[in-house]
Amino acid sequence: MTRKKLPIGIQSFAKIRQEGYYYVDKTPFVARLAEEGSYYFLSRPRRFGKSLFVDTLAEAFSGNRGLFTGLYLEDHWDWSRRHPVIRISFAEGRLQSRQELDQRIGELLERNQRMLNVRCTLPSISGCFGELIELAHKKYDQRAVILVDEYDKPILDNLTEPEIARQMREGLRNLYSVIKGQDAHIRFAFLTGVSKFSKVSLFSGLNNLRDITLSEKYATICGYTDEDVDTVFAPELSGLDREAIRQWYNGYRWGETPVSNPFDLLLLFEERQFRSWWFETATPTFLVDWLLRHGFFTPRLERLYASEALLSAFDVDRMEPEALLWQTGYLTISEVLESEEGIEYVLGLPNREVRKSLNEALARAFVPVSPTWSAHAIASMLKRGDVPGLRDHMVRLFASIPHSWYDTSPIARYEGYYASVFYSHLASLGLAIIPEDISNVGRCDLTVRHGQTVWVMEFKVVDGEAPTGEALAHLQQKNYAAKYQAPGVTVLQVGIEFSRTKRQIVGWEGG
């Protein structure tokens, strides 16, 4: 197969189609959306192809058939109808006040007037937007199409300043509320962004907006499936470990079929290196600070439970950790549990990139001045079962934390701090780790497997400075190791005790 250009950072459908870039055909979703309804909302993490899909919708409704030659939509679309398209995007720049937001909206409305060759007379934002929709319908004799990209970015950019974020929310609500009243003039509306703000808070009155974020039909509307990688990008796979690609970048789920982050794969194919490409584009400082401030127990990252209502519980005044982590792409749906009580989602880290990079960021926050260490050396200790070596390393890690930091940091005062440091430090290596490992006799605090060596660990926080032996005794009593015992597998049981007063590991028994 012939190699093509990699569309890194390109969000123009026309450019991709006209200049010989790879393209994964997402146009079946365009046809399905147009056939099934008129008003849609989609949430996906950043850099997942949302903007490119919005541009694809714009080209389709504008009737630019030549761009779709050879694609599904070429023979599944009414090309005789050309709709006026109104496009609004908040992707560019950062707005830091309601005044800046209103000014940007005014500029966007002015740009659309020029593109459609119409002129609004009403001065207010809501009045002008409504008039623009009506004038577009009248001039082109086809109902308008409204496409909103990064609908929530002005709010998300200001979450650390709640009052400004609230002002942004009100300004955006003033804009979006117009859509409901213009139903007679709208053929199709599609809003997309990272977060799922409640309809009450941001889409007041827009109760006909269909949220397809968790719809199985649209689970792969963004991202690359394994089939996409193996077919469209087949020329790029030579010399790369196919299973490593899955482990590093696949695993995001909004339905049964997992997908990979497009940004990661394109940079992997370009640079031929496995790195945290997506994570490095925007280290989640706000997210890490928020998790630490709220005393989040980081081993829970491997397995969290959430209802659909909880996943949608996101607003300036209410941010649940499950919703925040899921919507931003650091957790994904790993399992769906259905019962008479309803649907419950099991959330977990999607892949090695996120597990490694997010825990690196958390570990740096937990241990502000940490000693240098070799990730390879630590992984080697785990693989060969070096119990004393790992103990000495972890003791040095905790000893590097300044005592003054314990007094000034709230995170160091809650019991889960020690286990969180331990987990995030090991998880930053990208290894497979199971916190609260379930067996038929209970839950083990932490299980780490590397090669043919399995570490089964139990943690306990003690008030004194002397070990009690209770952690190891609990492991042995419950025999958590039994589920891993098999020919050729070395199973180590280690009880670890942290002293609240000494702020150090005081007990390390077993092996």
All domains of the chain in start order, with CATH:
25-218 (3.40.50), 226-276 (no CATH), 283-350 (no CATH), 367-510 (3.40.1350)
Residues near 275 by beta carbon (within 8 Å), at least 6 away in sequence: 267, 268
Of 242-256, 380-394, 438-452, minimum mean pLDDT range: 438-452
270-309 pLDDT, tens per residue?
Answer: 999 999 999 988 767 888 888 888 888 898 899 899 988 8
Q: What pLDDT, on a 0 to 100 scale, did the predictor assign at position 294? A: 82
- Residue 35 tokens read as 């056939």
Residues near 75 by beta carbon (within 8 Å), at least 6 away in sequence: none
User: What is the Cα Rg of the chain in Å?
Assistant: 26
pLDDT at 199 over 80: no
Q: By CB neighbour count within 10 A (0-12 exposed, 13-18 middle, 19+ buried), where does 339 fall?
A: exposed
Q: What pLDDT, on a 0 to 100 scale, did the predictor assign at position 201? A: 66
Most confident listed range (85-89, 340-344, 462-466, 477-481): 85-89
pLDDT at 475 over 60: yes
In three-state form (DSSP H/G/I as H, E/B as E, the rest C), the secondary structure along 61-81 is HCCCHHHHCCCHHHHCCCCCC
Comparison of pLDDT for 155 and 409, the residue scoring more? 155
pLDDT at 189 over 70: yes
Q: What pLDDT, on a 0 to 100 scale, did the predictor assign at position 440? A: 54
Q: Report the share of the chain in percent with pLDDT over 90.
A: 67
Of 155-164, 202-211, 484-493, minimum mean pLDDT range: 202-211
Q: What pLDDT, on a 0 to 100 scale, did the predictor assign at position 246? A: 97
Q: What pLDDT, on a 0 to 100 scale, did the predictor assign at position 12? A: 98
Q: What pLDDT, on a 0 to 100 scale, did the predictor assign at position 200? A: 55
Taking residues 208-218, what's their average pLDDT? 93
Q: What pLDDT, on a 0 to 100 scale, did the predictor assign at position 381? A: 93
Q: By CB neighbour count within 10 A (0-12 exposed, 13-18 middle, 19+ buried), where does 485 fall?
A: exposed
Report the candidate in 46, 155, 163 with the shortest Cα–Cα distance to residue 101.
155
Taking residues 11-35, what's their average pLDDT? 98
Q: By CB neighbour count within 10 A (0-12 exposed, 13-18 middle, 19+ buried), where does 21 fall?
A: middle
Q: What pLDDT, on a 0 to 100 scale, did the predictor assign at position 289? A: 86
* Mean pLDDT, the chain, integer: 91
- Residue 152 tokens read as 């929530």
pTM, to two decimals: 0.92
Q: What pLDDT, on a 0 to 100 scale, did the predictor assign at position 319? A: 80
pLDDT at 207 over 80: no
Q: What pLDDT, on a 0 to 100 scale, did the predictor assign at position 400? A: 86
